[in-house]
Amino acid sequence: MSKVNTIIDLVSKKHFLLLGAAFIFLATACGGGASTNSTADSTVSTENADLEAAASDQIISKSITEHFEAFKKTLKPGNSVEVIKKDDANGYIEFQESWKDADGGTNYKMAVWKGDNIDDVIAVFAVDCSGGGCDFDIAGFKIYDASFNELTADYIDLPKLTKQYQDAIPEKKKMGFEGYNGFYATIPQKGTRIEFCLASAAEGNKDGGTLSIFAEYDYEYDYDKRVGRFVEVPSQYQEGIN
């Protein structure tokens, strides 16, 4: 079990608190009487200052609103953007981009997790919709850093995920279910688990119509190495989660 799971009962893994900062506060508030050793005082003071500086750096994290505002700058100029749902407390937002020069738009779901040191990890799933329906494609799933540089392959095993998706389509057909060939990622508003699904794209629903889970991945953070990654977890593969 990941170390991050040991504190999930206290706070969301998307927004964990740094215990180092709390330790510094308590050590300062509960300090004893004056020391007679000025050299020791100076050494402790310097160490505390270094710890405070490090903790201050590490707790810097942008809200989902700030990430959303930054992401808008990457979109095509002239396209209008409307927020559909926003949950700052859980680091989640849904919004729609309307295309200026074409009939239709792109629907986005976005969530933020804490990443390496002060860098946030942002998962996004985008669906393009027009008069001809909606496109559900694995290319719509992306993972970014806080500057919206794509890091998808650094955080998830894309070849494995792609194979799971491709293998799930014929298996679904064997069961007599036609039309389940679209790719859909459910970005969580709460929690850290992303469900990857087959979508009945023929229904033309921007939320995938009826979904069938083929894999689930959860975000795990290694505190010692200060790295995060989405790893596959057991799935119940339930039908019709919409």
Instruction: Among 8-22, 73-87, 134-148, name the one with the lowest average pLDDT.
Output: 8-22
Are 41 and 153 contained in the same domain? Answer: no
Single-letter amino acid, residue 204: G
Has residue 7 been placed in a domain?
no
Are 49 and 126 contained in the same domain? Answer: no
Has residue 159 been placed in a domain?
yes
More confident residue, 1 or 126: 126
Are 86 and 103 contained in the same domain? Answer: yes
Are 69 and 51 contained in the same domain? Answer: no
Mean pLDDT of 181-187: 95
Are 124 and 190 contained in the same domain? Answer: yes
Are 109 and 176 contained in the same domain? Answer: yes
Burial class (CB in 10 A: 0-12, 13-18, 19+), 168: buried
More confident residue, 192 or 43: 192
Are 43 and 107 contained in the same domain? Answer: no
Residue 149, C-beta contacts closer than 8 angstroms, at least 6 positions apart? none
216 vs 230: CA distance, rounded Å: 9
* Residue 232 scores a pLDDT above 60: yes
Q: Total domain count for the chain?
A: 2
**pLDDT tens digits along 11-62:** 345 544 333 333 333 333 334 334 444 555 555 455 555 444 443 344 446 7
Q: What is the length of the chain?
A: 242
- Residue 129 neighbours by CB distance under 10 Å: 19
Has residue 8 been placed in a domain?
no
Which pLDDT does position 16 carry in this prediction?
43
Has residue 228 been placed in a domain?
yes
Has residue 79 been placed in a domain?
yes
Are 33 and 92 contained in the same domain? Answer: no
SS3 letters for 29-84? HCCCCCCCCHHHHHHHHHHHHHHHHHHHHHCCCCCHHHHHHHHHCCCCCCCEEEEE
Confirm if 71 and 148 have CB atoms less than 8 A apart.
yes
Residue that finishes a domain, picked among 58, 88, 108: 58
Are 106 and 156 contained in the same domain? Answer: yes
Has residue 224 been placed in a domain?
yes
Are 130 and 94 contained in the same domain? Answer: yes
pTM exceeds 0.75 = no
Q: Which residues pair with 212 in a beta bridge?
A: 198, 239
Provide the domain limits for residue 37: 18-58
Which pLDDT does position 227 carry in this prediction?
78
Are 85 and 23 contained in the same domain? Answer: no
